[in-house]
Chains A and B, each alone.
Chain A
Amino acid sequence: NAGVTQTPKFQVLKTGQSMTLQCAQDMNHNSMYWYRQDPGMGLRLIYYSASEGTTDKGEVPNGYNVSRLNKREFSLRLESAAPSQTSVYFCASSDRGATDTQYFGPGTRLTVL
């Protein structure tokens, strides 16, 4: 039982390049989330998916797109990377049960030059 896994762990991009961050969970959770974490800013929600087939914007969605590929997988795409997107990206999933606890992946450290 791996929990939430993310790939890649590290990535360096040049301004204007595109990339997709992958996330998968094996806990049979319905909901999945993408956050970014920046120094002094805390964790901010980019997009979330309440269930398979649905996605919605969070606090900071500009410059990102997401795809809920199936119940297990939720990807985050940067179409044209900008230096302001340099951050650590975390994926999370939750069971939407009584506690709705969110479980986080190990993160992807992205640098945009």
Chain B
Amino acid sequence: QKEVEQDPGPLSVPEGAIVSLNCTYSNSAFQYFMWYRQYSRKGPELLMYTYSSGNKEDGRFTAQVDKSSKYISLFIRDSQPSDSATYLCAMRGSGSYQLTFGKGTKLSVIP
């Protein structure tokens, strides 16, 4: 079993839809959870950062962490064509330098 599982998609939605992206993980030591966005032929950029369980909202983006289920989610409201990218979840343990990434979900938002 991989430490982090992420459905690679591709996921195609109409503009304005609510998008839900998810990752599951097996390592209960993970404490810090991140979502990176990667546009085609670019480097990943940090989108959302969450420590431990709970929700975090930033504009149209909401990150949720459920440590009891070992499940994290990213919601995008009112999706825009500019949201078309690959979304990578990443996580690490407390005091660890090393990030473990999911394989990424490719999202297309159709105008």
Indicate whether B103 reaches chain A with its CB closer than 8 angstroms.
yes
B window 75-99: CB within 8 A of A:
88, 90, 92, 97-99
Indicate whether B32 reaches chain A with its CB closer than 8 angstroms.
yes
Indicate whether B42 reaches chain A with its CB closer than 8 angstroms.
yes
Pair B98/A100 contact, Cβ less than 8 Å: no
Q: How far is the CA of A104 from the CA of B45 in the complex (A)?
A: 7
Pair B98/A107 contact, Cβ less than 8 Å: no
Pair B103/A102 contact, Cβ less than 8 Å: no
Q: How far is the CA of A58 from the CA of B92 in the complex (A)?
A: 14
A window 65-97: CB within 8 A of B:
90, 92, 94, 96
Pair A31/B8 contact, Cβ less than 8 Å: no
* Chain B residues within an 8 Å CB radius of A48: 97-98
Pair B43/A40 contact, Cβ less than 8 Å: no
What is the distance, in angstroms, from A39's C-beta to the closest C-beta of chain B? 9
B41, B46, B101: the one within 8 Å of A43 (CB): B101
Q: How far is the CA of A94 from the CA of B92 in the complex (A)?
A: 14
Q: Label chain A's interface by main secondary structure.
A: strand
Pair A106/B43 contact, Cβ less than 8 Å: yes
Pair B42/A100 contact, Cβ less than 8 Å: no
B window 1-54: CB within 8 A of A:
6, 8, 32, 34, 36, 41-46, 49
* Chain A residues within an 8 Å CB radius of B46: 101-103
Pair B99/A102 contact, Cβ less than 8 Å: yes
Pair B43/A42 contact, Cβ less than 8 Å: no
B interface residues (Cβ-Cβ under 8 A, vs A): 6, 8, 32, 34, 36, 41-46, 49, 88, 90, 92, 97-99, 101-104
A interface residues (Cβ-Cβ under 8 A, vs B): 4, 31, 40-45, 48, 50, 58, 90, 92, 94, 96, 99-107
